[in-house]
Structure 1
């Protein structure tokens, strides 16, 4: 069964550009899924909920700023 058939609800950031250059995420009990909003049938990345929380904390702390 593909992720598209598992009842995931995909959402984009409210800050995404009008041109659609962004990613979408979907949450499940033990994972967060990420895909390219321009290629919804393409590859999907899967992160454990703890890894996703750590990533978001890093973003908020500026660890990935250039």
Structure 2
């Protein structure tokens, strides 16, 4: 089965594109400029990360 990758419309012109897909219940994440490297995670772990980022837990990395 072919993986269907999606990326945010906000990243279209920046070149800094993360793409996401779902395969067999896992969330897949990759950078569009290096598509051979794929991170696999669960929906719950991705949600925890997104919530932490929204709360500013990773602001010191930017």
* Shorter-chain TM-score tier: 0.7 to 0.9
Give the Cα–Cα distance (whole angstroms) in 2 for the partners of residues 19 and 63 of structure 1. Answer: 24
Task: State TM-score, norm by structure 2.
Answer: 0.77
Q: By percentage of residues, which structure has more strand?
A: 2
Distance in 2 between residues matched to 1:28 and 1:44, nearest whole Å: 12
Are 1:12 and 2:7 an aligned pair?
A: yes
The count of aligned residue pairs is 60
1:46 to 40, 43, 49: 40
Deviant stretches of 4+, over 6 Å:
none
Normalised to the residue count of structure 1, the TM-score between the two structures is: 0.73
* Structure with greater helix percent: 2
Could you tell me which runs of 5 or more consecutive residues in structure 1 were left unpaired when the two chains were aligned.
Answer: 1-5
